[in-house]
Amino acid sequence: MNGELVTGNGHDKLYPSQMFILALDTASNAGGIALSRNSEVIGVLMAKTPLKYSEKLIDWIDFLLKQHEIKVGDIGCFSVAAGPGSFTGLRIGVAAAKAFGQATGRPVFAISSLEALAFRFRQLATLVAPVVDARRQQIYAAVYDTSGREPSLRQSEEAGRPEEWLKRLPEDNYLFAGDGALLYRSTILNLLPRSRVIESDNCVLPELCQLAYLRHAGGLQTEAGAVKANYIRPPDVRLHSEAGGKTVRGGHEA
């Protein structure tokens, strides 16, 4: 693991009166995993460079749990970034979360990466527009109202060209966040001059823990078998056709 990870510090033992949450974010090439006690993150492993999750994810989880002297069976629930994002990464992360949930009987919360990104900035604005670069001159985007306990959709999650999506939004004071917002900053501010663009990455590990805790504390139970990835954009076979015969994998042309 040397040279690949940024690790959280600390040495924590199990407190039976509190719940541990394990969160997985494989929606991007440089994601990671996090461990929280209730909603407080106590350990994080994040990739400094893009990794093959199929080769590293289980080792990461084993390392993080041993670091904090807990076992998989001590986890109260699991949280996973459901996407949108890398098709391959999402498949691996969702499959791992489902496997842990089924093995332990614990609930698994699949949380939209866009919703989690909006949740991060809930104290800065009421209307948050998370925008993620989908490559091929497209974005994944939505608008969330963050005034409540959890974000609520104001504009459905979708994939498309930034100019077309922005022109459909009513003129308003949005806070745009995510790597797609930075990439298309000038386009956003030209079309919606009263809006703001905040610098941020797409990793949402703390928010995955916090939202899972809120949902678990609120009595929501999600069986592992019902968990699905939130791809938004069509699968690879359709992208191949729409790209004029070019092979597209994980949202990228090969």
Distances 142 to 154, 192, 197 between C-alpha atoms, Å = 8, 15, 14
**CATH 3.40.1640.10 describes domain 5-112+203-253:** no
pTM for the full predicted model? 0.85
CATH number of 115-197: 3.30.420.40
The per-residue pLDDT for range 174-216, each reduced to its tens digit, is 999 999 999 999 999 999 999 999 999 898 999 999 999 999 9
* pLDDT number for residue 23: 98
Distances 26 to 85, 97, 144, 194, 225 between C-alpha atoms, Å = 8, 11, 22, 33, 19
Cα separation, 25 vs 30, whole angstroms: 9
Confidence of residue 7 (pLDDT cuts 50, 70, 90): very low
The ranges assigned to domains in the chain are: 5-112+203-253, 115-197
Cα separation, 88 vs 74, whole angstroms: 28
What is the 8-class DSSP label of residue 7? E
In angstroms, what is the C-alpha Rg of the chain? 18
Confidence of residue 54 (pLDDT cuts 50, 70, 90): confident
5-112+203-253 against 115-197: fold identical: yes
